[in-house]
Amino acid sequence: MTERHARTPATPGVLTDPLRNRGVAFAPEEREALGLTGRLPSGVLTLEQQAQRAYRQMQVQGSDLAKNVYLEQLHDRNETLYFKILAEHLPELLPIVYDPTVGEAIEKYSHEYRRPRGIFLSIDRPDDMEKAFATLQLGPEDVDLIVCTDAEEILGIGDWGVGGIQISVGKLAVYTAAAGIDPSRVVAVSLDVGTDRTSLLEDPLYLGNRHPRVRGADYDAFIEKYLETASSTFPDALLHFEDFGPSNARRILEQYGGRYRIFNDDMQGTGAITLAAALAAVKVSGVRMRDQKLVVFGAGTAGVGIADQLRDAMVRDGADPEQAAGQVWLIDKQGLLTRDMTDLRDFQQTYARDPAEVADWVRDGGAISLLETVRRVKPTILLGTSTVHGAFTREVVEAMSKGTERPIIFPISNPTSRIEAMPADVIAWSKGKALVATGIPVPPVAHGGVTYRIGQANNALLYPGLGLGTIVSGASQVTAGMLLAAARSVADQVDVSGPGASLLPSVENLRESSAITATAVVEAALEDGVATCKPTDIGEAVREAMWQPVYTDGAA
Ligand SMILES: NC(=O)C1=CN([C@@H]2O[C@H](COP(=O)(O)OP(=O)(O)OC[C@H]3O[C@@H](n4cnc5c(N)ncnc54)[C@H](O)[C@@H]3O)[C@@H](O)[C@H]2O)C=CC1
Ligand SMILES: CC(=O)C(=O)O
Ligand SMILES: [Mg+2]
């Protein structure tokens, strides 16, 4: 008698490999060659037909989170189809796969979990790192880009432990949708060092390391091991850092930026996109860059990263460095930051004010408020990177509008629940004078017979082009010159002459915008002497490098 074993019927590998899978788009002869005979319904659809069907299936999902989950499942099934519908509906779907819905997907990660995507590196098993990368079965030249996070400061929603993998996945989806970075040459990484969020630690379904965040020497050794392992395994890869806590974000970039090919999106990408918006706004306001007065509300990673870029822009426009730093005022939880404070972070010190200068300013419970600072300073630019919803009140906006003709107001905290003010309010309170950009996508605002288009000052409008340019030039580092070139290129892509014009390019044209930005970045990399590839026709090299969501021959 033959022995009967309980066996699960095998699923042919190609159907479970999202990079090669075409599902019912496989032609009969491909099905035969791939061992798929009888494993698919007989009908054969085109990619267009599949895309129409998938888009309709997505649309009937009951919430943005459900749409995100649906799209992630499609991502895990068939990447070409996923990127096809993303590319065709980018303005509608960017907010679903990325900011703001990705924030909710991160919060619910362990509960909505379907299957893993990316590499999970645990601080409890640092010696597994090489093995984990080896499971990808990729050669040293096969990876262009790795996005990692330790998830301590996800968007404006804080510490979300292993759920942070979805920010790495989301950032990479934007790289591909917006700049054609080849999805088979990228890796998403979670650096799981624990979490300080009690609700996760107490959740029986939580999928990450169930202990508080490891800090200090063990954390530093883990990060150093990651940098060494990632860069020796994939020497061509750009190492993108996302949503680290404020002290680690800056420390890692400053300590290792010269040695490894690192890009910190929250400092450098955000600084550059906000500089782009400011360059465009300055054309409208008519106040020279060197004369700008900047108040930053929320002096963390993004806020000070932006302050640095704007200060450098003032210097380039003729301000001396000391004067430029003196035209920046930082406000954090303690109120306006002054030099006599004992709890300043090192990166805040450059901009802390002399206590004598503010001796007679009104204090509320000991702190100098945003409103008092705005009344005294009369800033030309007000930046929100605090995660404090509603912090830019009517009083603040009215006070700013009194002090300057065209106030530049950028509430860029994400997601929507964290924004400092909604553009419709800022425009109404400033009587249509404010020049506004936000981190989240917002619809146009009608006021006084003018339609105001609100540019999205989200690093997603810049980092894809910057990354593409870095990859095409083979740049050994992301230099200040490359960041500046990207910012200038984005700013030059908008025409701000009409009333209510957007300060930034629209998401609709993001692919074209990224190609232009990437070209400028390659030129800057060549100029800065960090490029290792020197294309004869840079624009053509950039466009040729852009992956397209189409089925190509040789799926087997
Ligand atoms: N639009 C974009 O492209 C980007 C937007 N962001 C957003 O900026 C915000 C901050 O992000 P990070 O700088 O990474 O975080 P962070 O934690 O480094 O900085 C936030 C800062 O705000 C301060 N803060 C908190 N409550 C405050 C209060 N009541 N008054 C004044 N300051 C207060 C914190 O102490 C901290 O220094 C987030 O909402 C994030 O989503 C960050 C990066 C890119
Ligand atoms: C957009 C982004 O990187 C952030 O909010 O952290
Ligand atoms: Mg971020």
Residue range 511-540, pLDDT digits in tens: 999 999 999 999 999 999 999 999 999 999
Nearest to 458 by CA among 74, 103, 69: 103
Distance between Cα 3 and ligand 2 center (Å)? 58
Cβ–ligand 2 contact at 153 (below 6 Å): no
Can you list the alpha helix ranges (DSSP code H) found in 474-509? 480-492
Distance between Cα 483 and ligand 2 center (Å)? 17
- pLDDT of 61 higher than 50: yes
Residue 456 · residue 95 · CB < 8 Å: no
Cβ–ligand 2 contact at 266 (below 6 Å): yes
Q: Mind telling me the catalytic residues? A: 98, 171
Helices 79-88 and 90-97: crossing angle in degrees, nearest 10, is 120
| pLDDT on residue 82 | 98
Give mean pLDDT, residues 273-287.
Answer: 97
H-helix or E-strand spanning residue 58? helix 47-59
* Average pLDDT along the chain: 96
Give mean pLDDT, residues 244-255.
Answer: 95
Q: How far apart are the first and last CA of the chain?
A: 39
H-helix or E-strand spanning residue 128? none
* Integer Cα distance of 308 and 483 in angstroms: 12
Distance between Cα 167 and ligand 3 center (Å)? 8
Query: Closest residue (by CA) to atom 43 of ligand 1?
Result: 266
Query: What atom in ligand 1 is closest to the CA of residue 298?
Result: 22
Give mean pLDDT, residues 45-73.
Answer: 98
- pLDDT of 6 higher than 90: no
| pLDDT on residue 8 | 67
Of the ligands numbered here, which is closest to the C-alpha atom of 504?
1
* Integer Cα distance of 20 and 77 in angstroms: 9
Cβ–ligand 1 contact at 348 (below 6 Å): no
Please name the residues in contact with 339: beta carbons below 8 A apart, sequence gap of 6 or more: 349, 352, 353, 354, 355
Q: How many CB atoms lie within 10 A of CB 6?
A: 4
Nearest to 422 by CA among 431, 149, 413, 538: 413
Helices 246-256 and 301-316: crossing angle in degrees, nearest 10, is 50
- pLDDT of 555 higher than 70: no
What are the CA-CA distances from residue 512 to residues 465, 483, 542 (Å)?
9, 18, 11
pLDDT band at residue 402, thresholds of 50, 70 and 90?
Answer: very high
| pLDDT on residue 556 | 39
Distance between Cα 320 and ligand 2 center (Å)? 31
Residue to mutate, 296, 386, 438, 462, ligand 1, most ligand atoms under 8 Å from C-beta: 386
Query: What atom in ligand 2 is closest to the CA of residue 412?
Result: 5
* Integer Cα distance of 307 and 303 in angstroms: 6
For the purposes of burial, counting CB atoms within 10 Å of the CB of 546, is it exposed (0-12), middle (13-18) or buried (19 or more)?
middle
Cβ–ligand 1 contact at 242 (below 6 Å): no
| pLDDT on residue 7 | 67
Residue 260, amino acid = Y
Cβ–ligand 1 contact at 331 (below 6 Å): yes
Report helix, strand or coil for 416. Answer: helix
Q: Is the ipTM of this complex over 0.95?
A: yes
Residue whose token pair is 């997603």:
460
Q: How many CB atoms lie within 10 A of CB 101?
A: 24
Cβ–ligand 2 contact at 385 (below 6 Å): no
pLDDT band at residue 4, thresholds of 50, 70 and 90?
Answer: low
| pLDDT on residue 247 | 86
For the purposes of burial, counting CB atoms within 10 Å of the CB of 13, is it exposed (0-12), middle (13-18) or buried (19 or more)?
exposed
Distance between Cα 239 and ligand 3 center (Å)? 14
Query: What confidence tens digit (pLDDT) does each residue in 102-139 have?
Result: 999 999 999 999 999 999 999 999 999 999 999 999 99
Residue to mutate, 273, 387, 410, 463, ligand 1, most ligand atoms under 8 Å from C-beta: 387
What are the CA-CA distances from residue 317 to residues 288, 323, 366 (Å)?
8, 12, 36
Percent of the chain residues past pLDDT 70, beyond the cut: 98
Residue 247 · residue 299 · CB < 8 Å: no
Residue to mutate, 153, 166, 458, 461, ligand 2, most ligand atoms under 8 Å from C-beta: 458
Percent of the chain residues past pLDDT 90, beyond the cut: 96
H-helix or E-strand spanning residue 279? helix 270-285
Query: What atom in ligand 2 is closest to the CA of residue 414?
Result: 5
Query: Closest residue (by CA) to atom 3 of ligand 2?
Result: 266
Cβ–ligand 1 contact at 194 (below 6 Å): no
Q: pTM of this prediction?
A: 0.95
Cβ–ligand 1 contact at 305 (below 6 Å): no
Distance between Cα 154 and ligand 3 center (Å)? 6
Query: What atom in ligand 2 is closest to the CA of residue 243?
Result: 6
Residue 181 · residue 547 · CB < 8 Å: yes
Query: Closest residue (by CA) to atom 3 of ligand 1?
Result: 458
Residue 311, amino acid = R
Of the ligands numbered here, which is closest to the C-alpha atom of 304?
1
Distance between Cα 103 and ligand 2 center (Å)? 10
Residue whose token pair is 């063990």:
218
Query: What confidence tens digit (pLDDT) does each residue in 444-487 have?
Result: 999 999 999 999 999 999 999 999 999 999 999 999 999 999 99
Of the ligands numbered here, which is closest to the C-alpha atom of 301?
1
Q: Which sign does the torsion angle of CA 390, 391, 395, 397 carry? A: negative
Report helix, strand or coil for 238. Answer: strand
Nearest to 155 by CA among 144, 165, 167, 143: 167
DSSP state of 368: P
Please name the residues in contact with 99: beta carbons below 8 A apart, sequence gap of 6 or more: 155, 170, 414, 415, 439, 440, 458, 460
Nearest to 337 by CA among 309, 305, 369: 369
| pLDDT on residue 440 | 94
Phi, psi (deg, nearest 5) at residue 63 = -150, 170
Query: What confidence tens digit (pLDDT) does each residue in 320-339 have?
Result: 999 999 999 999 999 999 99
Q: Which two tokens stand for residue 314?
A: 């003032």
Of the ligands numbered here, which is closest to the C-alpha atom of 267?
1
Cβ–ligand 2 contact at 265 (below 6 Å): yes
Query: What confidence tens digit (pLDDT) does each residue in 193-217 have?
Result: 999 999 999 999 999 999 999 999 9
Residue 354, amino acid = D
